[in-house]
Amino acid sequence: MSRLLPDGGMSPGEGDRLVRSVAAKLVRAQHLRDIEPLFAELPDGVPGPAVELRACLLGELALIGSGGGRPSLEAYADRLRELGHPLARLPRTRLDIEHRFAVRVRGLGSVKTAKQLRSRFPEAPSTDGGAVAGRGARDARDDGRANAAARPFRAGGWAREPEARFFTLPSPLSPGDFGISFIKELSLRCLTGEGSRRGSALACMTTPDDVLNELFTASYVGGVNGQGQGGAYARLYAWESLCALMGLPIGVPILEAVRCAADHRWLRFMAFTDWFHHDTADLAFAVLDPTRTRIAVLAATDTDTHCDALG
């Protein structure tokens, strides 16, 4: 790795992507028996491409269910955890909620149309009560939480800055009112000019594994003009974003986050505005917490920002 990273020849971001790319390619191309000797010596510290490469290798191996029970790999992972490496907080095995990571299913690409959204997910009804409740929502700005929620899209180089917003309600929202009529009353940039394009906004109920997979894919594949981050960091960014959407504290154990996710309500939504172009990749999610008084919204688009005025 030191030979691949010329002194002063790469920005930190470019160096990070190279290390992550090499790790992903090694795991795909080499047998575990050939990779295992790289973990013979434990690191003294986290900084440096050699340690970072091995941390990424462990992350890539975990995603394919390999490396478990190997003493040298387990010892290295434990050492990274002691040193506080960010990847060390991830489980050493792939979780059931992560079953769709990096799995391509024919016919299940990006959701671009209302027809596609309705065909895959049950629609959440539009209600008058939802509209009334939405008008009573109050902005609860949290820049740190917003940055964590948006990170998969920024890391993947998506074309436009994502919108991550948080709201509070004075009283619990009825579960049946958590739909598009509620969302349309929130002060969201992605819904500015609703109706400016042909079509009607809609929201559909989804599950945390669907949201988590989209967050993973955003940085794993990368945007049209961006670059993928490799599986290890795409997984980390996905979990950090999901935890931010749920309002969980930084560093919460991943298995605790899995348990909490089941207690939240999750929506996918789309509209016909200058934000949603329906031609590359548009994503929008809304999350209702168990108290039914806190809502998080995350919207992202990979449409070239030069094609519109929103920036």
CATH for 182:
3.40.1000.50
Boundary of a domain, candidates 27, 59, 94: 94
Confidence band, pLDDT 50/70/90 cuts, at residue 196: low
Q: What is the pLDDT of residue 310?
A: 43
* pLDDT tens profile 24-71: 999 999 999 999 999 999 998 888 888 999 999 999 999 998 877 889
Averaged pLDDT of the chain = 89
User: Domain count of the chain?
Assistant: 2
Q: What is the pLDDT of residue 151?
A: 96
On the question of pLDDT at 111 being above 70, the answer is: yes
Boundary of a domain, candidates 94, 123, 157: 94
Q: Is 1 a domain residue? A: no
Q: Is 104 a domain residue? A: no
Of 1-5, 133-137, 287-291, the one with minimum mean pLDDT is 1-5
Confidence band, pLDDT 50/70/90 cuts, at residue 5: low
Q: Is 299 a domain residue? A: yes
Boundary of a domain, candidates 94, 124, 149: 94
195 and 81, same domain (yes or no): no
d(CA 192, CA 275): 8
Q: Is 3 a domain residue? A: no
* pLDDT tens profile 239-290: 999 999 999 998 899 999 999 999 999 999 999 888 887 776 889 999 999 9
On the question of pLDDT at 178 being above 50, the answer is: yes
Helix (H, G, I), strand (E, B) or coil at 69: coil
On the question of pLDDT at 106 being above 90, the answer is: no
Is 195 in contact with 304 (CB distance < 8 Å)?
Answer: no
- Residue 53: domain span: 12-94
Q: Which has the higher per-residue pLDDT, 110 or 144?
A: 144
147 and 202, same domain (yes or no): yes
87 and 160, same domain (yes or no): no
Q: What is the mean pLDDT of residues 297-310?
A: 70
Confidence band, pLDDT 50/70/90 cuts, at residue 14: confident
Query: What length does the chain have?
Result: 311
123 and 64, same domain (yes or no): no
Q: What is the pLDDT of residue 231?
A: 94
Distance of CA 177 to the CA centre of its chain: 26
Q: Are strands 138-139 and 282-288 parallel, antiparallel or unpaired?
A: unpaired
24-47: string of b/e by CB count within 10 Å (b at 16+)?
bebbeeeeeeebbebbeeebeeee
Rg of the chain on CA atoms, in Å:
21
Q: Is 103 a domain residue? A: no
Q: What is the pLDDT of residue 87?
A: 96
* pLDDT tens profile 157-169: 888 899 999 999 9
Q: What does pTM read for this prediction? A: 0.92
64 and 145, same domain (yes or no): no
On the question of pLDDT at 306 being above 70, the answer is: no
On the question of pLDDT at 150 being above 80, the answer is: yes
Of 11-15, 141-145, 254-258, 269-273, the one with minimum mean pLDDT is 11-15
Q: What is the mean pLDDT of residues 138-144?
A: 96
CA torsion through residues 269, 288, 100, 189, sign: positive
61 and 187, same domain (yes or no): no
